[in-house]
């Protein structure tokens, strides 16, 4: 029988793990010359593939804080995915590892652009 609240703790652990990974990437980008920020690399990738007119919509909604809002959205989505992976990891560790590998690969490919 599962203990009450275990799902919430697993989700929190997953979100914390993703937050630590993002923080480590940002730290390395700030300390090592030539290492791009993973957050900015992913943001630039999504800006490059957005449909026409999307930028004007976002600028209209957020004004000069459009880049900050976009980065906050990326972090929130990453933390939510980390929370979901944390909950899944106990029952299906292979699936959780695959999701993490896909996101690491996507971030790495975005940083190469």
Asked if residues 56 and 49 have their Cβ atoms less than 8 Å apart, the reply is no
Task: Give the model confidence (pLDDT) of 5-61 as tens digits.
Answer: 888 999 999 999 999 999 998 898 889 888 888 888 888 888 888 888 888 888 888
pLDDT of residue 38: 86
Angle formed by the axes of helices 93-112 and 66-89, nearest 10°? 150
Task: Give the model confidence (pLDDT) of 47-96 as tens digits.
Answer: 888 888 888 888 888 888 888 888 899 999 999 999 999 999 999 999 99
pLDDT of residue 1 exceeding 80: no
Going from N- to C-terminal start, the domains of the chain cover 7-112
- The Cβ of residue 50 has, within 10 Å, a number of other Cβ atoms equal to 13
67, 73, 105, 76: which is closest to 18 by C-alpha? 76
């Amino acid at each position: 029988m599962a203990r009450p609240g275990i799902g919430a703790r697993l989700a929190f652990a997953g979100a914390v793990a993703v937050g630590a990974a993002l923080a480590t990437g940002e730290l390395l980008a700030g300390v090592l010359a030539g290492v791009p920020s993973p957050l900015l690399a992913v943001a630039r990738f999504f800006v490059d593939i957005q449909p026409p007119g999307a930028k004007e919509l976002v600028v209209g909604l957020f004004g000069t804080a459009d880049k900050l809002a976009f980065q906050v959205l990326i972090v929130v989505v990453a933390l939510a995915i980390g929370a979901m992976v944390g909950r899944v990891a106990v029952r299906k560790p292979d699936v959780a590892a695959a999701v993490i590998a896909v996101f690491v690969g996507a971030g790495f490919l975005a940083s190469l652009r």
